[in-house]
Structure 1
Amino acid sequence: MANQREELDGSLSVDDPILSLRNASVTFDEGNSFVLNDVSLDLGRGEILGIVGESGSGKSMLAEAMLDAIPDPGVLQGEIIYRPDSDTDIDILELNKNELRSMRWEQISMVFQGAMSSFNPTMKVGAHFRETIQAHDADVKAGMSRAREALADVYLDPERVLDSYPHELSGGMQQRALIALSIVLEPDILVMDEPTAALDLLMQRSILLLLEDLKEKYDLTMVFITHDLPLVAALADRMAIMYAFDLVEAGPTDEIIDHAAHPYTRALLNSTPNLDAPLEEMRPIAGQSPAPINVPSGCSYHPRCPLADEQCRSVDPHFHDTGEAHGTACFHWQQARDDIELNYKASVSANPNTPARGDD
C-alpha cells in the first residue's frame, strides 16, 4: 500500500523548503488503518500551499502531522523537518514535550476547523489570548498589544472582541478572532484546516482577502486545507490534491486549474459550482472514497475512475512529470486531459470578484 519515493517529484519539492514531510504515515488500530499513507511533500518558504480533497481524504491528518498533533491512539511515523532558516534542520518528531509545546504557536500555528469549537464558551476572547501568551512564557503586556493589532488587522474592533464571549460574536467574527489568536506569537507557518467551511460565500471571500494581507504583513508561510478547489485557487501559489490518504497531484495553481492531469482532480473541478458552467453541467463524482481499512489495491481511485484498466487495479502509480513543475500519480494522465472535459471556459483562479470586508 505504501508508495515509497526516494527522491521527490519536482511537483512535490521546492528549492527553499521551510517544512518537509518524508514518508509521513498515520495509522490506527495497531497499524491496520492508514489515515495518512506515506506522504512526502515540501512547503516552500513564503508560499501559500492549498491542500484539496473530499471529506475523509486525510487532509486534516496531514495538517495535524505537520505539528505532530495526531490524537491518541494514532501513530505518526516518518520525518517532519522544520527549517527556521536555510542552515537549520529540526526534526519535529524528535522533539520532547516541552520543545514541541514551544514550537506550536510560536513557529507553526494552526487554525482548526470550526471557530466555535476552538473557543472555550465560558471564557472571554481576551482570556484566550492571555492564556496563550502566558503558556509560552511571553510578556503579557507586549503580547496583548500584539493581540489588539492582530484583531485590527482582521478588521475587528479589538476592545469589543476581547471583552466578548465567543457566542456574542458572529461566525465570521469568531473565525477572524481565531486567525488573530493563531498569529499573536508571530509564527513562521500558519496551517488552516477548512477555515471557511461554516461561512457564507461573501465571508469566505473576505477571509481569503485578509489572509493575503496577513501573509505580507507577518511574512507568513501558509497551508490552506479545503474540500473546495476553486475557492483556494484564488489564494494559493501551489496546490496538492489528496485522495484516499495520499497525494495524487501537485503543481502551481494555474497549472492545476487549467491543465489538471489526474481524473480525480478533473472530477473535483466538474463537481464544484462555478459561474462559467450551467448547473446542469455539474457532475457529481460517482461512488465513494474508500474507508481507511478498505483502500483498494493498485491506484486507490480506480473503482471510481472512467479510465481505469487492469494496470490501475494492480499497480500503485508513481508520480509522472507532466511539465511546469506539475506532477500526478496516474498512468493515464494524458488521456484524462483529452477524455475528461472540464465544464468551464476560463481559469477559476482569475476571479475578478472583490467582496467587501465587514464585521458580519
Structure 2
Amino acid sequence: MSVRDEIFEIRNLDVSFELNRGASRVVRDVDLNIHREETLGIVGESGSGKSMLSSSLLNAVVEPGVCSGEVTYYPQDGDPISVLELSESELKRFRWEEVAMVFQGAMSSLNPVMRVRAHFRETLQDHNRDIPAGLERARELLESVYLDPDRVMDAYPHELSGGMKQRALIALSLILEPEVLVMDEPTAALDLLMQRSIVALLDDLQEEHDLTIVFITHDLPLLTKLADRLTVMYAFGIIENGTVDELLYNSSHPYTRALLAATPDLNVPVDEMHAIAGSKPDPVDRIEGCSYHPRCPIADEHCRSSEPPMATVNGTHESACFYHEKAREAVPLRGDSKQEGAVHE
C-alpha cells in the first residue's frame, strides 16, 4: 500500500468561542493540506488564528472553544484518523505518539517542581512504555539537541537557561517518536542567536527523524532557513499558500507583501520600513467581503461585498485576492535584491 503524500488534511475548519458580547470565530473556513516530512511555516500578525489552527491539529482547543469541520490524519500505517472525533483516551495516545506539540515559553510548559528526568518518566509511564529503555532514549535525545544528559536530567527547570529549557522540551516531545511536531512560537522568548540555533537544530532533527514540522510564528525571516512552504493567515483564515521562494519573491496577496515590507532589516533606513496601516479585525465582528479590504490599497466595492476564493496564481501558488496581478505594483517591497538579502541573512 502506498503512503499518502498528505499527513494532515483539513477541511472547512472553524473554531469559535461564545463570549458575552457575541460569538467569536478565531479560525474560519480553513482548508489546508500538510505534506508528509515537510516543514510548513504558518505566519501572520498576532491574533490571526495561527495558534488556534495549530491546537486544532491535536483537538486541543481549550473550553469553551468549539472546533467544527474535518481534521484528518493519515498515519504511516493504518486507517485515516478523524482527529475531532477521537475520545479522550484516544486523544491521549494520539497527542504524544502521533503528534507532539512544543508551546511558546518552555518555563510554563515544564513543571517547576519536577526534575527533567521526572518529565520523561511521567510521559513514558502515562503511555505504558518501558521506562528504563525510554530514559536511555531520553539521554540520546538530549545529546542530539546538544545538552549534557548527566546535568540536565537531574536539573530543575529553573536551573537551565531559556535555550536549554526549550531544547529539553523538544527532546521530551520526541520521546515517543511522533510523526509530526507542532511548534507554536517556540523561539519567541529567546535571543536572536538562540533562535537561529533552534532553527538549525530543528532542521537537523527533521532530517534525522523523518519529521513533519508545523512551525507557527509571526517572525517571517525566521522561517526562511527552515520551512519548505509558507501559509499566511489573516483575520482567522488563510489568504496565501506557496513555497518559501514563491511567497518571498513572487507573493500576490497585498497582505503578504505588506507583511514582507514591514519586516525589520538593520541594513535598511528606518524611513524605508512601513508598518501595515489600519488594525486587524475583531473576532466578534462579522466580516463582509474580503477580510483585508479595510487595510488594502487596491480594494474596491467588489472586495467590500464579495469574499475572494483561494485561486492558483501563475500555476505556482494559491492566493485569495481578486486583484493579485495588481498587488506587486500597489505594495512594493524594498527591491527584489534587497529583500533577498534581508530575509536570508
* Equivalent of 2:305 in 303, 311, 314: 314
Paired letter, 1:296: I
The residue aligned with 1:111 is 102
Q: Which shows bigger deviation, 322-331 or 82-91? A: 82-91
Question: Is residue 2:5 matched to residue 1:16?
Answer: yes
Secondary structure of the residue aligned to 1:222 is strand
Distance 1:85 1:195 in 2: 26
* Equivalent of 1:218 in 198, 205, 209: 209
Paired letter, 1:144: L
Sort the Cα spacing of 1:32 and 1:92 in 2 relative to 1 into closer, same or farther, 3 A: same
Report the Cα offset of residue 242 of structure 1.
Answer: 0.2
The residue aligned with 1:278 is 269
1:64-92: CA deviation from partner (whole Å, max 9, x where unpaired): 00000010001001111110137631111
Q: Deviating runs (4+, > 4 A) in structure 1?
A: 347-353
Secondary structure of the residue aligned to 1:76 is strand
* Equivalent of 1:27 in 16, 30, 44: 16
Secondary structure of the residue aligned to 1:121 is coil
How do 1:185-224 residues align onto structure 2 when only pairs under 5 Å count? 185-224=176-215
Secondary structure of the residue aligned to 2:284 is coil
Verify the 8 A CA contact 1:81 1:90 in the aligned structure 2. yes
Q: How many residues align?
A: 339
Distance 1:154 1:245 in 2: 34
Report the Cα offset of residue 231 of structure 1.
Answer: 1.1
Verify the 8 A CA contact 1:257 1:349 in the aligned structure 2. no
The residue aligned with 1:12 is none
Sort the Cα spacing of 1:206 and 1:317 in 2 relative to 1 into closer, same or farther, 3 A: same
Question: Is residue 2:323 matched to residue 1:332?
Answer: yes
Gaps of 5+ in 2: none
Secondary structure of the residue aligned to 1:307 is coil
Report the Cα offset of residue 344 of structure 1.
Answer: 4.4
Report the Cα offset of residue 275 of structure 1.
Answer: 5.0
Distance 1:324 1:201 in 2: 36
Secondary structure of the residue aligned to 2:7 is strand
Paired letter, 1:126: R
Distance 1:249 1:218 in 2: 29
1:132-175: CA deviation from partner (whole Å, max 9, x where unpaired): 11111111111111111111111111111111111111111111
Question: Is residue 2:163 matched to residue 1:172?
Answer: yes
Distance 1:69 1:172 in 2: 25
Secondary structure of the residue aligned to 1:29 is strand
Question: Is residue 2:125 matched to residue 1:154?
Answer: no
How do 1:231-250 residues align onto structure 2 when only pairs under 5 Å count? 231-250=222-241
Secondary structure of the residue aligned to 1:60 is helix
Paired letter, 1:22: R
TM (normalized to structure 2)? 0.94
The residue aligned with 1:11 is none
Secondary structure of the residue aligned to 1:32 is strand
The residue aligned with 1:99 is 90
TM (normalized to structure 1)? 0.91
Sort the Cα spacing of 1:352 and 1:243 in 2 relative to 1 into closer, same or farther, 3 A: closer
Distance 1:38 1:138 in 2: 38
Paired letter, 1:27: S
Verify the 8 A CA contact 1:67 1:104 in the aligned structure 2. yes
| Percent pairwise identity | 57
* Equivalent of 1:253 in 244, 248, 252: 244
Paired letter, 1:181: L
Report the Cα offset of residue 291 of structure 1.
Answer: 1.3
Verify the 8 A CA contact 1:230 1:348 in the aligned structure 2. no
The residue aligned with 1:291 is 282
Sort the Cα spacing of 1:166 and 1:63 in 2 relative to 1 into closer, same or farther, 3 A: same
Paired letter, 1:197: A
Question: Is residue 2:317 matched to residue 1:323?
Answer: no
Question: Is residue 2:145 matched to residue 1:136?
Answer: no
* RMSD of equivalent CA atoms: 1.7
Question: Is residue 2:259 matched to residue 1:264?
Answer: no
Q: Which shows bigger deviation, 65-74 or 318-327? A: 318-327
Distance 1:261 1:277 in 2: 23
The residue aligned with 2:219 is 228
Verify the 8 A CA contact 1:109 1:187 in the aligned structure 2. yes
Distance 1:233 1:332 in 2: 26
